[in-house]
Amino acid sequence: MLTATLKDQAAMLRERRFATFFTGHVVSKLGDAPVPVAFALAAYRISHSAAALTWVLLSLWAARFLLVATGGRLADRHNRVNVMIGADVLRLLAQGALAVVAISPLPLHSWHLCLSAALYGAGTALYNPAQIGLTPELVPGDRLQRANGLLSLVADVSFLLGPVLAGVLMTAAGFSWILWLDVASFAVNLVCLARLTRLHTPLRRRAAPAAHPTATPEAETDTRFRAGFAVMARYPWFSFGMALWFVVSLGIGLTAVAGPVLAVRSLGGTGAWSLLATCLAIGSLLGSLAVMATQKHRWKTAAVVVTAGVALQFSALALRDQLPTAVVAAAFVLSALTTAACGIVWDTAYQSEIPERYLSRLGSVDNFVNAAGVPLGMLLGGLTADHYDTVFTGITVVLVLLCIPAASLAGHGRKATA
């Protein structure tokens, strides 16, 4: 099994278009890895308070929220590789300008970090929907899930390496060198994308399905972002799947706040939370590897699996006083594993099913919903510190209620396998 999987991955990387894109993607992700922690440390050093970091994060997420619809619309109307090039130029300028200020005699202020974060967030809002639409054009349909698995694996490794790289580089070289490293990684990705423009000929441009009975001719030719929502009405499983992922993302944000609090209160202190956070990273990595080792998974099954995984984590937290820390840690691993694996299945399912001309717009909806859920979950965690067990139960019930239609509607009359 492992040998066959490795051979299949090697065969996919011999495809020049995907290999070119993947090379730039790996370098870019590694350059990004230490940036979040470095920004947090820099913001605190400048202001000596958490307020600066809060404003930096708000600048990043606000720009993403405001421009994610634009990113999806542009990627569906124009060449996706060109949109990605423009987005990376913006992110390169954001980091490069901040690096220049950091090494100049001018003092570095919090507003410099906020402006850079906002431009970076804007570039990300333009880049991600275009990448979602591009990936199915670079690999054959039967290898799409493994391609998504590879991309997810890179993100997992970046997440694991980020804090370590940030700590070493901040101590040995300083904040500006982390920024220059990120600039260099974007430059490499831009070279790869520019090469991809010469190699890029879509493997498949899926024809749109016949018009839905309730669809109007205007909806079929509408190029605006809101036209994507009309397409969602033809795919009820997508709408319920988005609702399910929103609640999963809400749970991720809640765990980020409730986890440390409960670790200190019940599990032995900050060391216990470090263990649980590491388990989340390991589980996510294992989830990506698990999906890469297999060829097909149904979203119908994945919807049930991710619901069970998240519910298991919340159940373990609710029973934390009766369970050994090792059992809670195992639940965290399984939750992260199912979330990562089923996320790849989800991406592959709608990339395979949604009409190509709407794909980036629905991808931007996917990005927006998931990104909104995490900060809202953090807010929920901060407001309900004395009622976590009730909140865990409520989220679990909502997950089960959403899982039923998300799973039962998948594949009704259409292909729903990844």
Length of the chain: 418
Task: Give pLDDT, residue 211.
Answer: 42
What span, in angstroms and rounded, lies between the C-alpha atoms of 190 and 188?
5
For 289-316, what is each residue's pLDDT tens digit?
888 776 667 888 889 999 999 999 999 9
What span, in angstroms and rounded, lies between the C-alpha atoms of 384 and 345?
32
Return the structure tokens found at 182. Answer: 């990120």
Provide mean pLDDT across the span 316-322: 88
With cut-offs at 50, 70 and 90, classify the pLDDT of residue 329.
very high
The count of other CB atoms within 10 Å of the CB of residue 176 is 18
Return the structure tokens found at 292. Answer: 């890469």
Query: Measuring CA to CA, how many Å separate 62 from each of 8, 50, 74?
Result: 40, 18, 19
With cut-offs at 50, 70 and 90, classify the pLDDT of residue 412.
very low
Q: Which residues pair with 298 in a beta bridge?
A: 417
What span, in angstroms and rounded, lies between the C-alpha atoms of 53 and 19?
37
- Are 375 and 61 spatial neighbours (Cβ–Cβ below 8 Å)? yes
Provide mean pLDDT across the span 152-159: 83
With cut-offs at 50, 70 and 90, classify the pLDDT of residue 8.
low
C-alpha 28, offset from chain centre: 15
What span, in angstroms and rounded, lies between the C-alpha atoms of 345 and 410?
12
The count of other CB atoms within 10 Å of the CB of residue 34 is 27
Greater pLDDT, 291 or 330: 330
Task: Give pLDDT, residue 206.
Answer: 44
Q: Which residues pair with 285 in a beta bridge?
A: none
* Residue labelled with tokens 């995984």: 309
With cut-offs at 50, 70 and 90, classify the pLDDT of residue 355.
confident
What span, in angstroms and rounded, lies between the C-alpha atoms of 337 and 344?
11
Q: Which residues pair with 417 in a beta bridge?
A: 298
What span, in angstroms and rounded, lies between the C-alpha atoms of 350 and 257?
31
> Which of 97-106, 138-147, 196-205, 360-369 comes out lowest in average pLDDT?
196-205
> Which of 169-183, 244-258, 338-352, 367-381 comes out lowest in average pLDDT?
367-381
Taken in order of first residue, the domains within the chain and their CATH numbers are: 2-199 (1.20.1250.20), 222-408 (1.20.1250.20)
Sign of CA dihedral 356, 361, 367, 372: negative
Greater pLDDT, 371 or 366: 366
With cut-offs at 50, 70 and 90, classify the pLDDT of residue 190.
very high
Task: Give pLDDT, residue 9.
Answer: 61
Which of 385-391's residues contact partners 24+ apart within 8 Å by CB, and which partners? 385/258, 385/261, 388/258, 388/261, 388/262, 388/317, 388/318, 389/318, 391/254, 391/258
Closest CA to 185 of 19, 31, 36: 31
> Which of 40-44, 315-319, 376-380 comes out lowest in average pLDDT?
40-44
Query: Measuring CA to CA, how many Å separate 317 from each of 251, 262, 270, 321, 342?
Result: 12, 8, 15, 8, 22
Residue 54: pLDDT over 50? yes
What span, in angstroms and rounded, lies between the C-alpha atoms of 320 and 342?
26
Task: Give pLDDT, residue 384.
Answer: 86
Residue 86: pLDDT over 90? yes
Task: Give pLDDT, residue 12.
Answer: 67
Residue 228: pLDDT over 70? no
Helices (H), 33-49: 35-47
With cut-offs at 50, 70 and 90, classify the pLDDT of residue 219.
very low
The count of other CB atoms within 10 Å of the CB of residue 101 is 18
Task: Give pLDDT, residue 201.
Answer: 63
Closest CA to 91 of 193, 9, 18: 193
Q: Which of 7-16, 166-175, 389-398 has the highest mean pLDDT?
A: 389-398
> Which of 83-87, 133-137, 143-147, 391-395 comes out lowest in average pLDDT?
143-147
With cut-offs at 50, 70 and 90, classify the pLDDT of residue 234.
confident
Residue 248: pLDDT over 70? yes
What percent of the chain has a predicted confidence (pLDDT) above 70?
85
Sign of CA dihedral 331, 332, 336, 339: positive
For 16-37, what is each residue's pLDDT tens digit?
888 899 999 999 999 988 888 7
What span, in angstroms and rounded, lies between the C-alpha atoms of 218 and 227?
9
Contacts of 218 (CB under 8 A, 6+ apart): none
> Which of 115-129, 246-260, 340-354, 355-369 comes out lowest in average pLDDT?
355-369
